[in-house]
């Protein structure tokens, strides 16, 4: 076993080793996956459609077979391990996540969700339990999008989402287009399109994921119930004024776009709290032209990332940000134009599902705590077509996409216990 296993097992409480769930097995498997694409900084480097992602999927496929699951790969490279249900013609319940990573990422983002779903299957096998409905452990391809600066390609294939002609325009850093990358992975454009699953095949998808935030840590809780997955909207604003000499242009005769943009940014930061507790807005990228020390900025282009888990309040925030841009531009006597670069629908999680999760928390003697997901996940894509549930596991210091990413094994195992209890409830319904 490697360093990750030793670190995970340090302080692990064997009291969580019940109902067929093994923290030691989970630690061994997290450790084994961490060795695939391990970086010099002890991080993970498994881009989507890469040899390292494929090796990780093959390893998990082997574990699935050892656990008695019927394993198959679809035309997008997604892996499904199936357990027959007593009522096997019923739509399946799915659980899982992804194994690819950002460059030099952590060891929990993705693998924890896959291995949690598999651990439930292992526990059922050890305790002789067969679910009423079929159960599938799923590994989605290329969630992070490190290869094409845009991910979720595996889950999009399952849903049948996205314009394939637009995907074919994607080119990676090595100059390979989407079609060539698929072929290099033993797939094809045709097989990718045929990976779409029909609505009657699936009842629900449940995903475990690290929180990537600090709320659960502040509450001192091992895991929490996700209330919804925020849908991002990206707006590009360009403020246009007049460039001029910083020394010779009087202060009362300027059309300074950076001053206007600065006023706009400050107000954008104040807007979300007046609309929704879960809404956020971020200006994370800006370009100034001509960008000279002694030149009044003639134009500024900036990007606003707007998110909320509710479509109505997210869209209200979008409208108010656009209105604010016009108001600020008029006040500072500059022009402003905007382009909408992306708008993805939020995925609220049904109240009935959250209530069922709360029951599982109570039965496992864990205080239920609800929180939104500001980041996108495969569940966001699957949720456009089928009901989804999501559990967050506590993250140390909220760190993610970084080798320092960490979740305590005790918290991970408690999350698996909740997931198992919840899946049994859904299967019995």
Q: Is 168 exposed, middle or buried (0-12, 13-18, 19+ CB in 10 A)?
A: middle
Question: Kind and range of the H or E element at 245?
Answer: strand 244-245
From CA 299, how far away is CA 297, in angstroms rounded?
Answer: 6
Question: Do the Cβ atoms of 132 and 87 come closer than 8 Å?
Answer: yes
Question: Do the Cβ atoms of 271 and 319 come closer than 8 Å?
Answer: no
How many Cβ atoms sit within 10 Å of the Cβ of residue 395? 25
Helix 51-66 / helix 111-127 crossing angle, nearest 10 deg? 10
Q: Is 42 annotated as a binding residue?
A: no
Token pair 């391809």 is at which residue?
A: 141
First to last CA, the chain: 40
From CA 192, how far away is CA 188, in angstroms rounded?
Answer: 6
Torsion angle (degrees, nearest 10) of CA 427, 83, 9, 53 = -120
Q: Is 340 annotated as a binding residue?
A: no
Q: Is 90 annotated as a binding residue?
A: no
Q: Is 190 annotated as a binding residue?
A: no
Of all residues in the chain, what percent are helix, strand and coil, respectively (each to 5)? 40, 25, 40
Is the peptide bond preceding residue 290 cis, with omega within 30 degrees of 0? Answer: yes
Q: What's the Cα-to-Cα distance from 55 to each of 36, 48, 51, 95, 114, rounded to whole Å?
A: 7, 11, 6, 21, 15
Tokens of 103: 């460059």
Cβ partners under 8 Å of residue 62, min gap 6? none
Annotated binding site for Zn(2+): 98, 109, 144, 209, 401
Annotated binding site: 98, 109, 144, 209, 401
């Amino acid at each position: 076993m490697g360093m990750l296993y030793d670190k995970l097992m340090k302080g692990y409480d064997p009291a969580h080793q019940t109902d067929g769930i093994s923290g030691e097995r989970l630690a061994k498997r997290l450790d084994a996956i961490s060795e695939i694409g391990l970086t010099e900084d002890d991080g993970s480097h498994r881009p989507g459609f890469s040899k390292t992602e494929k090796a990780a999927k093959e390893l998990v496929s082997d574990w699935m077979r050892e656990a008695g699951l019927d394993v198959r790969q679809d035309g997008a490279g997604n892996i499904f391990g199936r357990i027959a249900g007593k009522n096997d013609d019923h739509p399946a319940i799915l659980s899982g996540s992804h194994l690819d990573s950002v460059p030099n990422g952590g060891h929990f983002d993705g693998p924890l969700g896959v291995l949690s779903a598999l651990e439930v299957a292992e526990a059922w096998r050890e305790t002789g339990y067969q679910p009423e409905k079929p159960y599938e452990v799923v590994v989605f391809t290329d969630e992070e999008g490190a290869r094409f600066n845009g991910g979720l390609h595996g889950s999009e294939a399952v849903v049948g989402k996205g314009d394939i002609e637009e995907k074919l325009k994607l080119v990676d850093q090595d100059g390979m287009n989407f079609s060539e990358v698929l072929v290099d992975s033993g797939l094809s454009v045709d097989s990718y399109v045929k990976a779409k699953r029909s609505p009657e095949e699936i009842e629900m998808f449940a995903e475990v994921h690290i929180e990537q935030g600090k709320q659960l840590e502040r509450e001192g809780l091992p895991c929490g119930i996700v209330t919804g997955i925020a849908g991002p909207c990206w707006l590009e604003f360009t403020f246009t004024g007049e460039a001029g000499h910083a020394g010779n242009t009087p202060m009362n005769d300027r059309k300074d776009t950076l001053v206007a943009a600065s006023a706009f940014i400050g107000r954008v930061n104040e807007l979300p709290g007046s609309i929704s507790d879960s809404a956020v807005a971020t200006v994370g990228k800006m370009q100034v032209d001509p960008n000279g020390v002694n030149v009044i900025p003639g134009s500024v282009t900036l990007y606003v990332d707007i998110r909320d888990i509710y479509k109505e309040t997210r869209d209200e925030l979008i409208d108010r940000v656009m209105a604010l841009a016009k108001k600020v531009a008029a006040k500072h006597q500059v022009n402003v134009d905007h382009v909408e670069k992306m708008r993805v629908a939020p995925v609220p999680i049904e109240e009935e599902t959250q209530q069922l999760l709360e029951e599982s928390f109570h039965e496992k003697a864990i205080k239920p705590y609800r929180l939104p997901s500001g980041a996108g996940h495969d569940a966001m894509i699957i949720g456009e077509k089928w009901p989804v549930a999501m559990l967050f596991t506590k993250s140390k210091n909220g760190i993610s996409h970084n080798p320092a990413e960490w979740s305590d094994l005790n918290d991970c195992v408690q999350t698996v216990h909740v997931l198992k209890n919840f899946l049994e409830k859904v299967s019995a319904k």
